[in-house]
Structure 1
Amino acid sequence: MIVAIVLTIVIIQRLVELFIAKRNEKWMKSQGAFEAGASHYPYMVAMHVCFFIALIVEVIGFNRQLSPVWPLFLTLFLLAQVLRVWCLSSLGKYWNTKIIVLPNAEVVRKGPYKWIRHPNYVIVATELIVLPLLFSAYFTAILFTLLNIWMMSVRIPAEEQALKKVTNYKEEFSID
């Protein structure tokens, strides 16, 4: 029962985020933005969809139970949700699930972006570990953590390359 409640809330949250991302994408493109890294995006979406499928299959199919330390994992997950909203609100209209870059835009350096370049990716990595561990779904936690590492090894360089080319990203983060 708790699995269904948690997953329903998370899936609804993700659908709302996709709506926000599409709205932001339309606005940014109307301002002259372009998409970078489009070739890997379908794989990222597939990975996230498969994550939920794998989690459901492992929890229900293998009769996984709540972790004995579920309050810790639930707390970490809820904290990640607060941080996710902080990331989204800090980026405002610039937040997206795709890499959408607006030339000559000032890079956002507020909220968690004051301290870390990609806080939202840290949050996603945390969720991909914590949510399965909440339900003792160890296979899903390990598999999708590894897949996410691979995905971020493609995505972050694509995003940084696009930002370096057309924004003040290099200067803001003092990188080459």
Structure 2
Amino acid sequence: MVTSELLYLGFLGAVSLERLAELFISRRNARRAFAKGGVEVGQGHFRVMALMHTAFLAACALEVGALDRPFPGLVGLAALLVALLAQGLRYWVIATLGEQWNVRIIVVPGAAPVSGGPYRYLRHPNYAAVIVEMVAIPMIHGAWLTALVFSALNAAVLHVRIRAEEEALGPSYAARMGGLPRLVPGRRPAPERPSAP
């Protein structure tokens, strides 16, 4: 008999395969970016981020199995729908960025900032999708502890990641995209703090 737990583990397996496919696309795009003179920044925090994302999927499975979390009915179905919508946003981002999409921060000198697709509304739609996934994927099967812990870890990593990325993208990015909210549509961006002397 197929249980909800087995179905959930199958879903996590599918997400894992999707992440592996994204790494393949990312590596291909990285090679192309480096061939155009691309420069990578943020390698230190990238390692932490990669480890966190791997641990996240494992924690979802472990919490459901070890703590015997039951399928939460309508809450679980709503979480599944939200997780699938977040995946749709992720695919929209990848399609919009094309060869510029990467899991690493690689900036090609002179490349114009992408301002189409979801980038008409947010500076960082991919990170918005990740924030949603960190809550929705565990809650599909009631893994609320994983949702809480990894949402907090993700917030800390994104705090570093977004600052590094925006700094690397430079003044042309700030001029073109600075008026958009970072993660929540319709929300005005916070004013930039002046640098300390």
- Under a length normalisation based on structure 1, what TM-score does the superposition of the two structures give? 0.95
| Residue in structure 1 matching 2:86, options 76, 80, 86 | 80
Residue 111 of structure 2 is aligned to residue 105 of structure 1 = yes
Please list every run of 5 or more consecutive structure 2 residues that lacks an aligned counterpart in the other structure. Answer: 1-5, 180-191, 193-197
Inter-partner Cα distance in structure 1 for 2:72 and 2:88: 22
Question: Who is 1:172 aligned against?
Answer: 176
Assess, with a 3 A threshold, how the Cα gap between structure 1 residues 57 and 174 changes in structure 2: closer, same or farther: closer
Question: Who is 1:19 aligned against?
Answer: 24
**Mapping for residues 24-173 of structure 1, pairs under 5 Å:** 24-68=29-73, 69-164=75-170, 168-173=172-177
1:88-138 alpha-carbon deviations (Å, 9 max, x no partner): 000000000000111110000010001100000000010010000111001
1:70-102 alpha-carbon deviations (Å, 9 max, x no partner): 221111111111111000000000000000111
Identity score, percent: 39
Structure 1 ranges of 4+ moved more than 4 A = none
Inter-partner Cα distance in structure 2 for 1:118 and 1:174: 11
Please list every run of 5 or more consecutive structure 1 residues that lacks an aligned counterpart in the other structure. Answer: none
Alpha-carbon deviation of 1:56?
A: 1.2
CA RMSD in angstroms comes to 1.1
**Larger RCO (CA under 8 A, 6+ residues apart):** 1
How many residues get paired? 174
Assess, with a 3 A threshold, how the Cα gap between structure 1 residues 59 and 27 changes in structure 2: closer, same or farther: same
- Under a length normalisation based on structure 2, what TM-score does the superposition of the two structures give? 0.85
Question: Who is 2:187 aligned against?
Answer: none
Query: Residues 76 and 142 of structure 2 are in contact (CA less than 8 Å); yes or no, is this contact kept in structure 1?
Result: no
Between Structure 1 and Structure 2, whose CA radius of gyration is higher? 2
Query: Residues 96 and 117 of structure 2 are in contact (CA less than 8 Å); yes or no, is this contact kept in structure 1?
Result: yes
